[in-house]
A and B are shown apart, each in its own frame.
Chain A
């Protein structure tokens, strides 16, 4: 019994790795099957473009898009604008999630504040950010502030919601344990509420970043002097459709990369839970 339980954590880990490794053949096949449709589309797309069946002004060919990507990368333009977008998105998400953590924390912990504040926030939550963006621009102008507010507004709600839910969802049986052990208020927060709520908070943060990223697109397309969105709207007025496509692809790829990054952090912080494989 002693031996078995001692080797269990590392045992399950190697088992997981092994499954991934031996399953890599299966994964590879999955990947090939999944890539089949996009590959066919790309080939047809390129064929339609190079034989002149589709106007390059409406649908630039994949090679043209690739060329634009290389050109923008070599001139450094792409990275400058991407950097602007990333800084903007991080700033907005930072303020939005900070507000969500604080407000969600207070609302989750205090019944009085919850009754007072939560209903109004729930109403505000259901307002689409596209609809609120013009108002935010009206109030904060076309400058950087309004963009950060739009992004922050989008990032706020998912994290706020999960913050409140996870605090309310702390296992009452464990709360009873902290009463029996006479935890102080501070320890109750740091040793019980926070770790218990962490999984929920992290998945909320993941959603928040995704919504912040959406907010970034909205903010930059509604008028901006820098960023990937700017690159796209600029290309639109200058009829460079291939650059617009580069922007779309960058938004998609960056969104996925950021999500992967958050998932990695999540795995690390929740090791006590994640390596649990059942059986």
Chain B
């Protein structure tokens, strides 16, 4: 996998939300550079602004300070060059699997038809083309959502806790499916999670965020070869590394709180 040129570049990103009484800083001074073909996982406790970061990259949230560029161009809004996978599959319940993947495109278009068939093969949903979302399991529905994003050939795929609602077995299976897609397609991916195992299992690089305000507290490069074994010593080593960073965050949080009193 060639990981040479920079695809996503974030500099000095600040984001605050205005509530009625006060303004809450969600992200502070985020610096991040993601290279073409990289798989970056972002991990942090709830409220650390990891979803906000992903939504800003997707162009869904605006009104921030700093610079966020994809392929050298500032991000001005959502677009098909930035695929987004939500925690829920968010399929159109009135469309069959294949029509959900096509979404606004027509299956009568030969090119679309061919690509949809390829993607159904890729996400292992052969035989379910005509099924409605209500007949799918959670993992299958999320695979449809992934195929829907991939059909647009995004330059980057953003995944916001995509497997958070799935049971442990399905989640492990989906992680393998996602790695398989990444290895075949080479799509750059940023996946947000609160599951340390998931972050280590998938990422080339792990970004650790701390909450209130959301700041990057650590960066861990995981140089383990794929496929990784969760029970291996190397895996455990990286797991401890990330855990250590978290404990440092906890101490810091307590320390600050103590100082505040």
Contact = CB atoms under 8 A, between A and B. Distances in A.
Are chains A and B native binding partners rather than an unrelated pairing? yes
A8 B135 contact: yes
Contact of A181 (B88, B131, B152): B152
Interface in A166-214: 173-174, 176-184, 187, 191-192, 195-196, 198
B66 interface: no
B104 interface: yes
B145 to A, nearest CB: 9
A174 B90 contact: yes
B79 A182 contact: yes
Contact of A191 (B82, B104, B128): B104
Interface string A1-22: 1100110110000000000000
A272 B127 contact: no
Interface in B161-180: none
Nearest to A181: B103
Given A9-B135, A182-B78, A272-B132, A191 B140 contact: no
Given A180-B58, A182-B79, A191-B92, A272 B103 contact: no
A276 interface: yes
Given A6-B128, A9-B131, A174 B88 contact: no
A273 interface: yes
A173 B90 contact: yes
B80 A182 contact: yes
Task: Give the size range of B's interface with the partner.
Answer: 20 to 34
B88 A179 contact: no
A192 B195 CA distance: 33
Interface string B112-143: 00000000000000011001101111001000
Contacts of B83: 180
A187 B104 contact: yes
A245 to B, nearest CB: 45
Given A6-B128, A176-B60, A187-B104, A181 B80 contact: yes
**A interface secondary structure, majority:** helix
A173 B88 CA distance: 9
Contacts of B95: 191, 195, 272
Given A8-B135, A276-B134, A181 B93 contact: no
Contacts of B149: 180
Kindly name the residue among B90, B148, B152 whose own CB sees the greatest number of chain A CB atoms within 10 A. Answer: B90
A194 to B, nearest CB: 9
B104 A174 contact: no
A252 to B, nearest CB: 35
Contact of B136 (A5, A273, A276): A5
A234 B136 CA distance: 61
Contacts of B137: 1, 5
A182 B88 CA distance: 19
Contact of A183 (B86, B93, B103, B131): B103
A43 B78 CA distance: 72
B131 A5 contact: yes
Interface of A: 1-2, 5-6, 8-9, 173-174, 176-184, 187, 191-192, 195-196, 198, 272-273, 276
Given A187-B104, A272-B93, 11 more contacts: A1-B140, A5-B128, A5-B140, A173-B86, A173-B88, A174-B92, A176-B60, A180-B60, A195-B94, A195-B95, A273-B93
16 contacts: A1-B140, A5-B128, A5-B135, A9-B131, A9-B135, A173-B88, A174-B92, A177-B86, A180-B78, A181-B104, A181-B152, A191-B92, A272-B93, A272-B94, A273-B94, A276-B134
Q: Top 3 closest A-B pairs, CB basis?
A: A187-B104, A195-B94, A180-B84
